Structure 1
Amino acid sequence: MESSPASSLRVLVHGGGIGGLTLATLLARRGHTVEVVEVRDELDALGVGIIQPSNALHVMREAGVLDACLAAGYEWEILTIADPAGNPRARIPQPRMDDVPSANGIPRPALAALLADAARAAGATIRLGATIATLADDGEGVDVTLTDGSAGRWDLVVGFDGIGSPLRTRLYGDRYAPEYTGFANWRVTVPRLPQVEGVVMCMAEQAKALLTPITDELMYLGAVFAEEETYRPGPDTAHEELAKRLAAFSGPIAEALASVTDPAAVVYTRISQVTVEEPWHVGRVVLAGDAAHASTPHLAQGAAMAVEDAVVLADALRDALRDGESVPAALAAWEARRRPRAMWVQALSRAVLKQEMGAPTTAEEDELLKVGVPGAAHVLVKPY
């Protein structure tokens, strides 16, 4: 039999991304002993910028970093749908969750830095340049050895280690490898145009380009195209290859593109998803965020789902300690609450991708698409 839970837990978070650092902050602020282990030598987030919709900002408030996110980013309220020349066709107000802003664009490196600072300030330890070497769950705790030679015993191990999750592979082998959707995302940071005061999404046939403000001075240009799985942009020609794909666009997209002269500034990412169909936890080891349910970016909800996972997991553990329940029972309750919402976001996001790119959709996807992106935004500002 498992012993009664103590008043606090020892938690190892595998992965120092947005979800992992948010969980570390929330748990450490509640008095738990938390260590984040990250394989990279620095928490230098890859990519350009990220959209924090209102539900993500709601979690940032609970983690005590909302003001810092808004100060580092660019708050906005209106999504503009435009033609390839940038002429507005619709202006869609974005809903709010309680009294937090509708949306915030922020550079990924800035978000990574402020979340790391918050986790450390809350009392969490961040160990860089290491990953899990061995792991043994005996039902009462998890013994872990890291690749740097350190070892410890933990009440819980959380895998916030991304779409290529090594912890997922450790639990399930290659059964849930990332599934490539056939499309890829091109992004590059450029100077913000004065007229870009919120996301501007320009639609052409089987192509989408958008401009997202992330500071007063900067925005990012993003574009989605069908690409072969083996394709990679040339290291010296990535900006030229992007320009060819965006030839159908003029107006602000062309103006932004004209400032891109460095091929190394172009970030190319294949759009894949992961669906772990088996339980997201095995004993005292749990997968969260992209490790369990990575989705396409078409609802701007990938990181939002990760930070929602974090706050709901922190709450589930709090409730378990209060009620004398086990850690595995807390994980089961957490998954029962999170899986339906995360799977709905994943399914709708992929359906939106296929619809925008002119790809065939299934009857189930057509039914999902009836809610539309504005409808989804209103659903997602409801309690998680």
Structure 2
Amino acid sequence: MQDQNKAKQILVVGGGIGGMSAAISMRRKGMDVDLVDLDPQWRVYGAGISITGPTLRAFKGVGILEEVMQQAYTGEGIQVCDVNGKPVHIVPTPLVGADDVPGSGGIMRPLLHSILSRRTRELGTQVRLGITVDSLRSDDDGVDVVFSDGSAQRYDVVVGADGVFSRVRRLLFPDAPGPEYTGQCVWRITVPRPASVVRRMFFLGGELKVGLTPVSQGEMYMFLLEPAPRRDIIPDAELPSRLSRLMQGYGGVLQDIRENLSDSSHIVLRPLEGFLLPRPWEKGRVILIGDAAHPTTPQLASGAGMAVEDALVLAEELAQQPSVELAFEGFMARRYERCRLVVENSLEIGRREQARAPMEKQAELVEQSLRVLAEPI
């Protein structure tokens, strides 16, 4: 009788990093999984992302670490420099248990999407594109789902992994808080990687925080955090000149990047938003993971990692617990405080950056957080 309460048919809403990781993890546990994504082309936007040792450990858990290491960048430590590019000290990246898991890295979003989407399909997930959910009705035995194309189906569990503006979250908790602008926006640009850049780098002590992350043998991306009021979209043609002005006064490799900005530079500008959804993240047999529940800012480079960890833990709990209710309880017990630390500490680091706190005060919270995140999930 108990086995009848276990989840066998799963719907994952959202085909981003968290959703694909959930589909992969659940298929590997023997569950049948459907995945839907609103974008009919299943595209991915943005530049590169920084990844920590715990995130790489999570990639190992979903079975993609080796491919990431072959095609992206992995290494150890974060080099902290002053505004002139002079090395100050290295923030250590703690070991996360296994010798085969590096301490940090970087990858282009399209490459990560390609790796995960291919693995998702290879494992037999049924992927449907161009649709989302219109309604969810949960009872003791399952969830009746009506899709935006008018079709309907019943599942044992529905996983909302549909991002910061989650449709599933609005259906479950229409009065829940949403993401808030933090007062910072992030500029990103992908550029050639010189031989001198051998690990992730932070440039602190100036008006703005700037960083570099290698993403392959030949490329890296630069990010620049700008305190600014929320504003209208800036035309693409104006982005190079505005970024050039923001980078004035920075030396070393950053000066080289600034001098090579041009009309052909592909610059991505985004506002930073984040929040932590108060408990519960579940209602009936529907549960939220990743950015649908805890979107964070990039100060700890852990947003993607938290989504992948959510996926791994949820799959484990659904497979080992005798009921969906106990699986959800186990998931929340393992995930809430860890995700809260990432969101709250990332936001605090952002506040320190905007207040131009000494570089030691900025770096110390990064180090403290990375030590905690290195602990087992």
Question: TM-score category by the smaller chain?
Answer: over 0.9
Could you tell me how far 1:248 is from its partner in structure 2? 2.3
Equivalences for residues 213-252 of structure 1 within 5 A? 213-252=214-253
Instruction: Out of 182-191 and 197-206, give the one that drifted further.
Output: 197-206
Distance 1:339 1:200, change over 3 A: same
CA-based RMSD of the aligned residues comes to: 2.0
Letter in 2 for 1:128: L
2:91 aligned with 1:92, yes or no? yes
Q: SS of the counterpart of 1:383?
A: coil
After superposition, the Cα gap between the structure-2 partners of 1:150 and 1:3, relative to the gap in structure 1 and judged at 3 Å, is farther
Q: Is the contact made by 1:274 and 1:291 (CA closer than 8 Å) also made in structure 2? A: no
Judged with a 3 Å threshold, the aligned counterparts in structure 2 of structure 1 residues 216 and 171 are, in CA distance, closer, same or farther, namely same
Matched residues, number: 373
Alignment of 1:1-384 (within 5 A): 4-5=3-4, 9-99=8-98, 100-262=101-263, 265-320=266-321, 324=322, 326-358=323-355, 372-384=365-377
Q: CA deviation at 1:134?
A: 2.1
Counterpart CA distance in 1 for 2:180 and 2:37 is 24
Contact 2:6–2:318 under 8 Å retained in 1: no
Instruction: Output the CA distance in 2 between the equivalents of 1:302 and 1:31.
Output: 27
SS of the residue corresponding to residue 270 of structure 1 reads strand
The answer to whether the 8 A contact 2:14-2:160 is kept is: yes
Gapped runs of 5+ residues in structure 1?
Answer: 361-367
Report the CA distance between 1:4 and its aligned residue. 4.3
* 1:85-139 deviation digits (Å, cap 9, x = unpaired): 1111112331221221112211110000100111111111221111112221122
Distance 1:157 1:7, change over 3 A: closer
State the partner residue of 1:365. Answer: none
Asked whether the 8 Å contact 1:188–1:266 carries over to 2, the reply is yes
SS of residue matched to 1:12: strand
Distance in 2, matches of 1:131 and 1:293, equals 20
Specify every segment of 5 or more residues in structure 2 that has no aligned partner in the other structure, as ranges.
none
User: Taking structure 1 as the reference length, what is the TM-score of the superposition?
Assistant: 0.92
Structure-2 separation of matches of 1:271 and 1:370: 20
Give the match's secondary structure for 1:5.
Answer: helix
Residues 43, 112 of structure 1: 8 Å contact kept: no
Counterparts of 1:47 and 1:81, CA distance in 2: 25
Native 8 Å contact 2:7 2:157 kept in 1: no
CA distance in 1, matches of 2:267, 2:220: 13
Report the AA paired with residue 135 of structure 1.
Answer: L
Question: 1:262, CA displacement in angstroms?
Answer: 3.7
Q: Which secondary structure does the structure 1 equivalent of 2:299 belong to? A: coil
Give SS of 1:237's match: helix
C-alpha change, 1:203 and 1:371, in structure 2 (3 Å) is closer
Q: How far off is 1:148 after superposition?
A: 2.6
Give the letter aligned to residue 138 of structure 1. Answer: D
How much does 1:37 deviate? 0.6
* 3-state SS in 2 of match to 1:298: helix
1:287-306 Cα offsets, whole Å, 9 max, x none, are: 11111111111011111111
Q: Tell which deviates more after alignment, 298-307 or 129-138.
A: 129-138
Q: CA deviation at 1:241?
A: 1.0
Query: In structure 1, the residue corresponding to 2:203 is in which secondary structure?
Result: strand
Shift of 1:264: 6.9
Q: Deviations over 1:164-193 (max 9, x none)?
A: 111111112253211111111110111112
Alpha-carbon distance, 1:369 to partner: 7.5
TM-score scaled by length of structure 2: 0.94
